[in-house]
Amino acid sequence: MLSAKLLKQCALEAGADIVAVGPTSRYEGCPKQMDIRYALPGCKSVIALGFRHFRGVFRGTEEGTFFTNYSGVGYASINCIRQPLALRDICRWIEDQGYDTMPIPNHLGWTNNDMAGQRPGAVDTPNPNFSRPVQAGYPYPNVAHHMRLGAVIAGLGEIGWSKMFLSKEFGPRQRLALLLTDAEFEYDPVVKPGTICDRCKQCARACTGHAMPVDSKDCVRVEIDGQVIEWANIDYSKCSRYFCGASPQHNPFAVTEEDQKGFADVVGRAQQYKLPSQYWYARALEGSSGCIRACMMHLEQTGRITNRFKEPFRKKPAWRLADPE
């Protein structure tokens, strides 16, 4: 058994901001297509790493002045640069002790099943036109690495009503990476639901696309280690479009009729020529107004997270452009 204390010290020194480790036995009962134990047979532990977004990367969107900072510095550069470098250092430390490691950063390709929920039943039902199992009883490649549930399994935090992962340190302000290993540790407990998210529903009320319900009965449920985990039954078609700038009242770049059409498309041409990609990513024009900013402000105001600031994030009413004529 390796030392969890030394593991966490290694992870923090490598560049992670928070780290937790749990047993892969907590995956028991999950759909085969989402059971990442198939990826590394014999793995005993899942390590979850959180890389925080600086609160200031949301300031430009909050003010309506600078929209590429969150996309490039806060989002894509963590996925594509910070996570792979940190995972390499941690994997090197574990493998020097004689154990296998499998690093899983947050920018790996989409899997056979649709975790975004845009195809009904697709989370549990793989698409046979995408891939086929290599032998009987196996999942379809690629097996789905559900980052947020993996972090819950490791004990890093909980999933809020918005389905965003919440840590007791940063609330919704982090991106996640996972690491599988056949090494064993002393494990962190699963965080009890409600420890961080108090179901205030500010996320739902502030979402420009109205993509998540306020009604607590309209939710998704899973059970992990005896804890019932719930989150909003999100309309992902709305979420993806409005996140990318479909709301003309919240997109100062949509000034022509062609823009209105292009920004309503997840991969629309308008957003690409108006805002060139940063590390292959240029979509977050809505700035996560509900699921990150509104949630973050509420958790700070109510003292439910530990990363605190001298001044409140929102200092004046949120901006909103006039309705199209």
Q: CA separation (Å) from 285 to 75, 263, 264, 278?
A: 12, 9, 11, 13
Q: Write down the pLDDT at residue 245.
A: 87
Q: Write down the pLDDT at residue 116.
A: 60
Q: Write down the pLDDT at residue 107.
A: 82
* Whole-angstrom Cα Rg for the chain: 20
At 120, the pLDDT band (50, 70, 90 cuts) reads low
Q: Write down the pLDDT at residue 281.
A: 77
The yes-or-no verdict on residue 28 having pLDDT over 90 is yes
Q: What would the mean pLDDT of 133-138 be, rounded to a whole number?
A: 94
The yes-or-no verdict on residue 51 having pLDDT over 80 is yes
Q: Write down the pLDDT at residue 259.
A: 83
At 111, the pLDDT band (50, 70, 90 cuts) reads confident
At 323, the pLDDT band (50, 70, 90 cuts) reads confident
Query: What whole-number distance in Å separates Cα of residue 301 and Cα of residue 200?
Result: 12
Q: What would the mean pLDDT of 70-97 be, rounded to a whole number?
A: 94
Query: What whole-number distance in Å separates Cα of residue 250 and Cα of residue 64?
Result: 9
Q: Write down the pLDDT at residue 317.
A: 94
Per DSSP, what are the bridge partners of residue 18? 50
For the chain, give every domain's residue range: 4-108+145-301
Q: Burial code of 158-194, b = ≥16 C-beta within 10 A, e = fewer?
A: bbbbbbbbbbbbbbbbbbbbbbbbbbebebbebbebe
Residue of 49 and 128 predicted with greater confidence = 49
The dihedral formed by the CA atoms of 196, 151, 54 and 163, expressed in degrees to the nearest 10: -60
Q: How many CA atoms lie within 13 A of 32 on its CB side?
A: 9
Q: What would the mean pLDDT of 257-282 be, rounded to a whole number?
A: 74
3-state secondary structure of 320: coil
pLDDT digits (tens, 9 = 90+) for 151-196: 999 999 999 999 999 999 999 999 999 999 999 999 999 999 999 9
Determine what percent of the chain is predicted with pLDDT higher than 70. 95
Q: Write down the pLDDT at residue 118.
A: 60
Q: What would the mean pLDDT of 11-28 be, rounded to a whole number?
A: 97
At 257, the pLDDT band (50, 70, 90 cuts) reads confident
pLDDT digits (tens, 9 = 90+) for 184-224: 999 999 999 999 999 999 999 999 999 999 998 999 999 99
Q: Write down the pLDDT at residue 279.
A: 75
Q: How many CA atoms lie within 13 A of 298 on its CB side?
A: 21
Ramachandran angles phi, psi of 200, nearest 5°: -70, -25
Q: Write down the pLDDT at residue 117.
A: 60
